[in-house]
Amino acid sequence: MGCPIFTAVVLTALVLLMPFTAKAQSCPSRSDWPTEAWPDRIQETATRKAAEIQALEDYAFTRIGKDEERLGVRTDGVVIIHNGAIVYERYVAPYGPEKRHIAWSVTKSVTSALTGLAVGRGAVSLDDSICDHLEIPKPESCQVKLGHLLVFSSGFDWTELYEDKSNQASSVLAMLYGEGRRDMARFVAEHRLRDTPGTTFMYSTGESLLLASAVQEGVQKTFQKGDTFPWEWLFDPIGMKTAVLEKDAKGHFKGGSHLFATPRDFARFGWLYLNDGCWAGQRLLPEGWVADSTTVSEPFRTASLDAGSEPQGRKWWLNRPVPEQGLPTRPWPDVPADAYAARGHWGQSVTVIPSLDVVVVRVADDREEGAFELNRFLSLALAIVEAP
């Protein structure tokens, strides 16, 4: 018979250690992490998959018309990651592996990640009102919570139009370049509430910026790291050394639109999500954050949608059918159902496909509406990584 006190101490220690053991086990184990550099299998793939690469390039890299007309598919660069290595990479001059590209709305998915990091550290809660973190002159707007902003359901009367539509009707142009440009978060929050927060879905650059601003202030209040936390908690740990996240004149991150990085660094961000928010065995995003972010959001499933809306999670585009909203098929039918993407204006995308261990990054300058088809591009890209 052993000593009962000793047994009790050992059992207690095991029980106390269990959560930590479980957490460590929940992160995928990989031998290499691309914090410094991506392993390179480009040449090997080029030899093995010449026909598939040609088909991808015929579609993605064939330009039409005069350069100044900006017609058709205008890819600036593609990076494909498979099993932790670069298997394909190509750029069109003047872009290259060292040149940053604008992410436009891919930034929104990064803001979603930054929100997760701040929630995980207790700096903010999704139940917080925006007024808990920002000076909002309109009391009505205090009904809006960070959780609403994360899934595009603030209810603000916002018009998400870009250039060449109706410039004076665009809330986005007014925020970035017009009357809102000096204090963008305030500009967004001064809009009237058209709907009760949480009851509608409307894609909005303003909401994403407002969320980034509130999170930034929350982190500043708790950790005094409002200006540095994106690098300290996200970009630096995953080796995203080229990340530039611009601010408005008030000092708030333009979290809906103005992240810049190289395609290889955007791939690192995708790789973080493919690995459930873990990097090099360490959990960066809270457990469950990636799963929640890549599940069709409640407002998208239940609220009335604008025509042409595609399934969204927490600022990620999802390859899921949503039959209850009249969307019975996946938006990218030739791509595995578990695919999800960060997407931006002019054709930017970071697509993550966990079942294939693949991340596909595309940076582009597509100005002709409807010219580029993500489904076709991804199906051609995936042919490169399929087993022979």
Partner 1 sequence: MKTWMTAGALGACLLVAACADPDAEQRTYANSDLELSPSYRAAEVCSCIFVMGQDEDFCNRWTVANPNVSTFRVDHEKKTVESSAFMMWGARAKFVDEKTGCVFED
- Contacts with partner 1, residue ranges (CB under 8 A): 67-68, 94, 98-102, 157, 159, 163-171, 173-174, 176-179, 181-182, 231, 243-249, 258, 260, 365
Residue keyed to tokens 């809270």 = 286
Q: How far is CA 69 from the centre of its chain?
A: 30
CB of 94 to partner 1, least distance (A): 6
Distance CA 352, CA 349 (A): 10
Q: With respect to partner 1, which residue has the nearer C-beta, 176 or 358? A: 176
Q: With respect to partner 1, which residue has the nearer C-beta, 152 or 229? A: 229
Strands (E), 191-321: 244-245, 259-261, 278-279, 282-283, 317-318
Task: Identify the helix (H) or strand (E) that includes residue 340.
Answer: strand 340-344
CB of 171 to partner 1, least distance (A): 7
Cβ pair 337, 330 in contact under 8 A: yes
CB of 208 to partner 1, least distance (A): 17
Distance CA 158, CA 59 (A): 35
Residue 151 structure tokens = 């899934």
Residue in 163, 70, 111, 73 with CA at minimum distance from that of residue 347: 73
CB of 177 to partner 1, least distance (A): 4
Q: With respect to partner 1, which residue has the nearer C-beta, 130 or 363? A: 363
Q: With respect to partner 1, which residue has the nearer C-beta, 105 or 275? A: 105
Residue type, 133: H
CB of 136 to partner 1, least distance (A): 19
CB of 217 to partner 1, least distance (A): 17
Q: With respect to partner 1, which residue has the nearer C-beta, 97 or 321? A: 97
Cβ pair 167, 173 in contact under 8 A: yes
Q: With respect to partner 1, which residue has the nearer C-beta, 23 or 192? A: 192
